Amino acid sequence: MIVEIKVPSVGESITEVTIDSWSKKEGEAIERDKTVAVLESEKATVELPAEASGTLTKILKKSGDIAQVGETIAIIDTDAKPTVSATQPAPPPKEQKTAEPAKPKAATPVPPKLPAPAKAAPPKADAAVTPPPAEQPKAEPVKETKAATEEAIAPQAAAAPVEAGHDEEIVPMTRLRRTIARRLVEVQQTAAMLTTFNEIDMSGVIALRKEHGEAFQQKYNVKLGFMSFFVKAAVDALKLVPEVNAEVRGDDIVYKNHYDIALAIGGGKGLVVPVLRNAERLSFAEVEVAIGDFARRAKDNKLKPEELQGGTFTITNGGIYGSMLSTPILNPPQSGILGMHNIQERPVAREGQVVIRPMMYVALTYDHRLVDGREAVTFLKRIKEAIEAPARMLIEI
């Protein structure tokens, strides 16, 4: 029986995908529900399982090709016997390896020949022009001689950057990276972005983690990190300033009565922003478990498209990379994004004295079409108050 492998729906409004890679070759056996290909959409990388066991008889779309949702990209024959075994892929790589080195060997003799003419004429330009005069005595027309001169110069000009050490590698943008680039440009053109800053004394959170961190990990099998505090603080601040949790939709303002916090995470193929649904209902442990799960699956490109949609507010932590201060860019159509940064010990004034405290700069970028400066400052001040006195989040004051 012939079974067609078709591109499934991988998310709302997504009509096409890029074939990232095939896990099987033509003629190789495939088992039902085993990954046969990896698809890359605008929002995520998705593994495509085989719908039946059999032999992969035909691959209609190669790696790098674009395919439409619903399009047939391969064929499985459930009755055919495999012509390539799972242990047989070894020979093709060997043939490719022997073929590939042959090219460099053919290319390597070329550079040694270039310096030889250069001894007679040190400047490269002279060396490039020298061959044409040798052709002119052959009674060729002037136009043909000029063309021959240009042809002689062109290959040497192309090789010049390599000789100068200016190596380049051209790699096509992945669909995910193209989408990230497009959305970042679009939001700067459509939203009135403005950023306000504040600084937070992290002493309270650090002390709380030190006191309860070990018991927390033993009970929930996950570390008590900083992000869960900021997620809970963000929910608290969003309740106080609902404009930051809203969005502009045409000429209307849409206020959200739920708090789906998106968390910017560096994935295997770029930045991804999975969403923590109904964060207001989650405990600190549930937040930490979810964040850890997102981070692991993001590295393996196994986040689902639906997990990257529908956030109402975003938190990004540049501090894990050592960033001291930045102005994060909005994640449309959201109206606010909170930027966390590196914790550094700095001298600060406390009760008339200078003391050293672990301080973090925080930034709130917001859409000024919807959020005024007063609301933005109030929001960030609430974040500061919640983090500097973390116990208040537990009693909701």
Strand boundaries in the chain, DSSP class E: 2-6, 16-22, 28-30, 35-40, 45-49, 54-59, 66-68, 72-77, 193-201, 247-249, 252-254, 261-263, 265-267, 270-272, 275-276, 313-317, 336-340, 343-350, 353-367
> Does 260 qualify as catalytic in the annotation?
no
> Does 65 qualify as catalytic in the annotation?
no
| Candidates 33, 126, 300, 372; catalytic one | 372
From residue 137, alpha-carbon distances to 131, 134, 393 in Å are 12, 7, 91
Q: What is the CA radius of gyration of the chain?
A: 30
* Token reading at 132: 């044409």
Closest CA to 186 of 60, 70, 299, 42: 42
Residue 325 contacts by C-beta under 8 Å, 6 or more apart in sequence? Answer: 197, 341, 361, 363
CA 131 – CA 261 distance, rounded (Å)? 67
Pairing of strands 45-49, 28-30: unpaired
- My answer on whether omega of the bond before 333 falls inside 30° of 0, hence cis, is yes
Catalytic sites, residue numbers: 368, 372
